Amino acid sequence: MIEIKNVNFSYKGSLDAGLHDVSLQIHDGETVLLCGASGCGKTTILRLINGLIPHYYKGELSGSVNVSGKRIEQTELYELASIVGTVFQNPRSQFFSVDTDGEITFGTENIGIPPAEILRRKSDVTKEFALEPLLDKSLFALSGGEKQKIACASVSALMPEIMLLDEPSSNLDWNAIGELAEVIRKWKAQGKTIVISEHRLWYLKDLVDRVIFLENGVILHEWSRQEFAAMSASELSALGLRPVTLEEQYIREFSGDLAALHSAEPAVMCDNDILIRDLYFTYHPPKYVLWKKKLCAEHSADYTLAVPELRLPHASVIGLIGRNGAGKSTFLRCLCGLEKDCPVQMVLDGETAFGKRILKKRYMVMQDVNHQLFTDSVEAEVLLSMPDESPEKAQKLIDELGLSGYEQTHPMALSGGQKQRVAICSALAADAEILLFDEPTSGLDHKHMTMVAALLKSLAKRGKTVIVSTHDPELISLCCDRILCLEKGRVRYLRKV
């Protein structure tokens, strides 16, 4: 039983993202979903339950939190480790070990469980989550979904009675989300108490017992599963929540039988289309003695990625879909000229570009946009991309992308969405013609996703060609003109939305 009574909390040195007079009771065996916009306090509630507040994140706390009869304030974190388990958002940063085996047993080693018992628990969770094929592997070689499964197993090995999940699906594709839902179902069947904070709601709608809606640190609504399922899409979107049914409809369409799509009309081609030729790439290059063999059409059957020819319409938004591992990111990297071995050529406005020249005129906004911000102010960041540093032009771009007022702010002090816009700004400053986005909406709430969609549309209006890889059907329905589907590194289809 979790009991939160009249809790107020504010983070040290930060005005927002606190909680105001929150009271909440969660019974044993209940599954509760916390939803609401970014910064509404979902994560803060989870941190209250697992003790990270007040033991790790400092701030001002009043009220009381009791978990399984223990007062959190007076309980050390390690004592809570075997009572409350937490799966975090980012699979990349939550594991401690390098290999899967070590990660699964990490928690049990910390609290000094005898070796024989550790091994027994390890084999239990391995069986439970079907992890056999993942054992004895490097965590760095796993996909996001696999990492998340290992994270669940590692928590499970501690056998806590309460499971917390903090936006666990942010970096996962539809298949991996399905597996995650399966894990949650198993925990539920074992009678564990589960609290999930999440933006993507569809996979949880049959699992949760209760849904709690937060806004600005206050609990505004509470629904039962039935009430929640009965809410219409417009009601949800009025609250800034993502639709519950849309994704399922898309998943059926995209991953199911595609027979209906073969009749889809081939898109009409125009003269100013972008022509892509010889896009080949392989992770297993043929063995060579002195020099690498050039990748070519002849052997393309063995390649990881092979697109002999593809025409993309100019000045439009193209949604790139496909399962994890279908080659979406690699496709974008090749288009961008980041994969040196890829012999891709691009015909744009009658000019053919290949090799290093590809890098010009193209710009990719990476999944982790933090990697591409280098300077100490937004203005400097935009100027850095300009061949001729013109402050007026930079200012104009900054205004257009809604960043005015932040010119002198450090890019890293901005929110995720603002950072994305800074990156777009510098792409426009560099006069890039083709803008590539690698999953720009993973982990975003409804409001921010619609903002991204509007932004992408406006880029197409400026005459830029936008290619965006995504797992978000809503983004596709909001802004894409075409859908490009990859399967096993081959173009499955390109069609109008």
Residue 157-186 contact track with other proteins, rule CB under 8 A, x = bound: -x----------------------------
Distance in angstroms (rounded) separating the CA atoms of residues 154 and 192: 16
> Smallest distance from the beta carbon of 222 to other proteins, in angstroms?
26
Comparison of 292 and 488: residue with beta carbon closer to other proteins: 292
- Written as one string, the DSSP assignment of 390-456 is -HHHHHHHHHHTT-TT-TTS-GGGS-HHHHHHHHHHHHHHTT-SEEEEESTTTT--HHHHHHHHHHH
Q: Is 330 in the site for other proteins (CB under 8 A)?
A: no
- For other proteins, the binding residue among 113, 131, 312, 480 (CB under 8 A) is 113
Q: Is 368 in the site for other proteins (CB under 8 A)?
A: yes
- CB of 332 within 8 A of CB of 436? yes
Site for other proteins in 341-360 (CB under 8 A): 359-360
Q: Is 338 in the site for other proteins (CB under 8 A)?
A: yes
User: What does residue 269 show for φ and ψ, rounded to 5 degrees?
Assistant: -95, 145
Angle at 278 between CA 355 and CA 428, to 5 degrees: 50
- For other proteins, the binding residue among 230, 233, 413, 454 (CB under 8 A) is 413
> Smallest distance from the beta carbon of 376 to other proteins, in angstroms?
5
Distance in angstroms (rounded) separating the CA atoms of residues 214 and 40: 6
- For other proteins, the binding residue among 11, 106, 354, 493 (CB under 8 A) is 106
Q: Is 193 in the site for other proteins (CB under 8 A)?
A: no
Q: Is 33 in the site for other proteins (CB under 8 A)?
A: no
First-last CA distance in the chain: 48
- For other proteins, the binding residue among 10, 105, 197, 470 (CB under 8 A) is 105
Comparison of 247 and 379: residue with beta carbon closer to other proteins: 379
Q: Which range in 99-107, 178-186, 256-264, 466-474 contacts other proteins by CB under 8 A? A: 99-107
Residue 429-458 contact track with other proteins, rule CB under 8 A, x = bound: -x----------------------------
Distance in angstroms (rounded) separating the CA atoms of residues 179 and 181: 5
Question: 446-475 burial string, b = 16+ CB within 10 Å, else e?
Answer: bebbbbbbebbbebbeeebbbbbbbbbbbb
Q: Is 110 in the site for other proteins (CB under 8 A)?
A: yes
Q: Is 418 in the site for other proteins (CB under 8 A)?
A: no
Q: Is 118 in the site for other proteins (CB under 8 A)?
A: yes
* Residue 239: HSE in the Cβ half-sphere, 13 Å Cα cutoff: 22
Q: Is 393 in the site for other proteins (CB under 8 A)?
A: no
Q: Is 202 in the site for other proteins (CB under 8 A)?
A: no
Distance in angstroms (rounded) separating the CA atoms of residues 183 and 181: 5
- For other proteins, the binding residue among 3, 30, 54, 55 (CB under 8 A) is 55
Question: What's the chain's length in residues?
Answer: 497
Identity of residue 320? L
The radius of gyration of the chain's CA atoms, rounded to the nearest angstrom, is: 24
Q: Is 468 in the site for other proteins (CB under 8 A)?
A: no
- For other proteins, the binding residue among 29, 39, 59, 102 (CB under 8 A) is 102
> Smallest distance from the beta carbon of 93 to other proteins, in angstroms?
4
Q: Is 44 in the site for other proteins (CB under 8 A)?
A: no
**Number of residues counted as binding other proteins (CB under 8 A):** 69
Distance in angstroms (rounded) separating the CA atoms of residues 203 and 392: 48
What's the count of helices (H) and strands (E) in the chain, helices before strands?
16, 20
Residue with tokens 């279908």: 326
Residue 59-88 contact track with other proteins, rule CB under 8 A, x = bound: -----------------xxx-xxx-xxx-x
Q: Which range in 62-70, 209-217, 303-311, 370-378 contacts other proteins by CB under 8 A? A: 370-378
Comparison of 28 and 79: residue with beta carbon closer to other proteins: 79
Q: Is 311 in the site for other proteins (CB under 8 A)?
A: no
Asked if the bond preceding 54 is cis, omega within 30° of 0, the reply is yes
Q: Is 283 in the site for other proteins (CB under 8 A)?
A: no
What 3-state class would DSSP assign to 210? strand
- For other proteins, the binding residue among 114, 133, 256, 266 (CB under 8 A) is 114
- For other proteins, the binding residue among 374, 405, 461, 497 (CB under 8 A) is 374
Task: Please state, in angstroms and as integers, the Cα–Cα distance from residue 76 to each residue in 25, 53, 71, 79, following that order.
Answer: 22, 11, 10, 5
Task: Please state, in angstroms and as integers, the Cα–Cα distance from residue 175 to each residue in 122, 131, 203, 353, following that order.
Answer: 25, 16, 11, 37
List residues binding other proteins (CB under 8 A). 50-52, 55-56, 76-78, 80-82, 84-86, 88, 90, 92-99, 101-102, 105-115, 118-119, 122, 138, 140, 154-155, 158, 333, 336, 338, 359-360, 362-364, 366, 368, 370-374, 376, 384-385, 410-413, 426, 430
